Amino acid sequence: VVCQSCEARHKGVCGGLESAELSYLAKNTSKKAYRRGEEILAAGEKLDRYSNILSGVVKLVKLLPDGRQQIVGLQFAPDFVGQLFADTSNISAEAATDVRLCTFPRQVLESLAEQSPAMEHRLLQQTLRGLDDARDWMLTLGRKTAKEKVASFLMLISAYSDPERKEFETPFTIDLPLKRGDIADYLSLTVETVCRQLTNLRKAKIIDVPNRQHIIVLDLVRLRALAEQTEIVDV
Amino acid sequence: VVCQSCEARHKGVCGGLESAELSYLAKNTSKKAYRRGEEILAAGEKLDRYSNILSGVVKLVKLLPDGRQQIVGLQFAPDFVGQLFADTSNISAEAATDVRLCTFPRQVLESLAEQSPAMEHRLLQQTLRGLDDARDWMLTLGRKTAKEKVASFLMLISAYSDPERKEFETPFTIDLPLKRGDIADYLSLTVETVCRQLTNLRKAKIIDVPNRQHIIVLDLVRLRALAEQTEIVDV
DNA sequence: CGCCTTCTTGAGGGGCGTCAAGCCCAGTGG
DNA sequence: CCACTGGGCTTGACGCCCCTCAAGAAGGCG
């Protein structure tokens, strides 16, 4: 069965299902691939499918009528994508990298959630984590300087790429899933400011930038101090 | 029984409970009152109680070590307060106005949630709404100008004070539940900038400010246009 | 009436946005 | 193999929006 061997299963929302439920889900799923930049879900679109991310990074984007935009969340595997119980999405979802999804009709998930308290509980847990992340990020957006924002972003990606990493394990390389423009939209900055702050961090020997997609973190202690503002750091 | 006649019951999380569950809950609740400015829940504190708001407004605050702060959410009656399934809160909650709460031990709610799918479903719904609000506000924090932010805040409070209001029902008065400093922390601005923008709106005849606590909205159409940036508005 | 907190207004400066030019590099086709 | 092309990235010059600092006004309360 598809779901039994699913790479995303144990940490995803389907992790709590019985095997009967799992085979029901398996019958109704399909895998889809998107290239970097493709739109997965348009704002205002009728919402009839949900998905789990198998691999890649999905950005959730909000738009102002005049074109200003803000990335309000990044979703990594095995996160869930789609606004539960909403008829239409008020957010658009776009592939930030190449992405593979496991999608299923809306009704399948909603009926499973009704039958299985474990499933609903997992959805609640995931939503709570999303709310927590969103609120953390509001502090970053609202009250940090450009320098602190870029440091915060690098810490976020570092944590995602290796949650177990220790401070003394430097230097290490991280792979940026976002283009400069996306980073700017995530941090509420402009592309130019993001570039300048990366340059500043490079000159301060906190990071190195060997090429567009990669960052080498040289001094994790100072990077974290900048991001969390636990002490004053000259840059 | 206390809960049977509760003013917040039907729209709150306890609205889906059977009468047996309701009386169990009623045995374990107590009402508490807080004065404006009092702390309801400190960040880092051990979390052993949850609450529903009976009246008043609660602000959720995040702090940076150096004192900068951001209000990451406003909760109105009959919203739920407390971070579900978290051992310690990473947010502090403070009474923005005088507040009355209905509180109960953490275990009571969590066991009710286990027994009653309806209860868990309501918690999920409320969390989803919170996530949606948070993401909307991220766009406001990140991409709107000071002028647009203040207009957005006034629209938010207007909507809360009368969700059914029509555009032609102007002028009308709204009661500000927050001090200027709180508004600034909610909008990621300074007190001075909030004041100046209110003055600008007053000079543009969009609002009037008869005293500190009240705002008279004279031109809801232009206020909304500013908040949502649907068209260009001179101020 | 005096004191304290909150609000308002002004003057000045700095951080980040805007505009513009040039660089890097992958992909394409000759 | 290399010229060409175009998108993304980087850097500089300049200006504006909002923050900072400061002083005074307006209430609230003993």
When scoring A72, A114, A120 by the number of chain B Cβ atoms within 10 A, the one with the most, hence best to mutate, is A72
- How close B16 comes to chain A (CA, Å)? 15
* Nearest in space to B75 (alpha carbons), one of B98, B50, B52: B52
Q: Which nucleotide is nearest to A144 (CA to C1')?
A: C15
Q: A115 at the B interface (CB within 8 A)?
A: no
pLDDT of residue A20: 86
Residue with CA nearest C1' of nucleotide C17? A190
- Residue A210, Cβ neighbours under 10 Å: how many? 9
Residue A233's pLDDT band, with cuts at 50, 70 and 90, is low
The mean pLDDT of B153-179, rounded to a whole number, is 93
* Nearest in space to B202 (alpha carbons), one of B181, B177, B171: B171
Across the interface, of A131, A141, A228, the residue whose CB is closest to B127 is: A131
- How close A1 comes to chain B (CA, Å)? 29
Q: Is the CB of B100 under 7 A from strand D?
A: no
* Nearest in space to B191 (alpha carbons), one of B150, B220, B224, B225: B150
Single pTM value for the model: 0.94
The distance between the two most distant Cα atoms of chain B, rounded to a whole number of Å, is 58
Residue B95 burial class via C-beta count within 10 angstroms: exposed 0-12, middle 13-18, buried 19 and up = buried
pLDDT of residue A1: 56
pLDDT of residue B232: 59
Residues A234 and A226: beta-carbon distance below 8 Å: no
Across the interface, of B66, B130, B135, the residue whose CB is closest to A62 is: B135
Residue A76 φ then ψ, to 5°: -110, 165
The conformation of residue A1, written as its DSSP 8-state character, comes to -
Provide the positions of strand D that have an atom within 7 A of a protein CB.
Answer: 8-13, 17-22, 27-28
Q: Is the pLDDT of residue B235 over 70?
A: no
The mean pLDDT of B148-164, rounded to a whole number, is 95
| D17 C1' to B132 CA distance, Å | 29
Q: H or E element: which one contains A227?
A: helix A220-228
pLDDT of residue A232: 59
* Residue A95, beta-bridge partner list: A58
Q: What value does the mean pLDDT of chain B take? A: 92
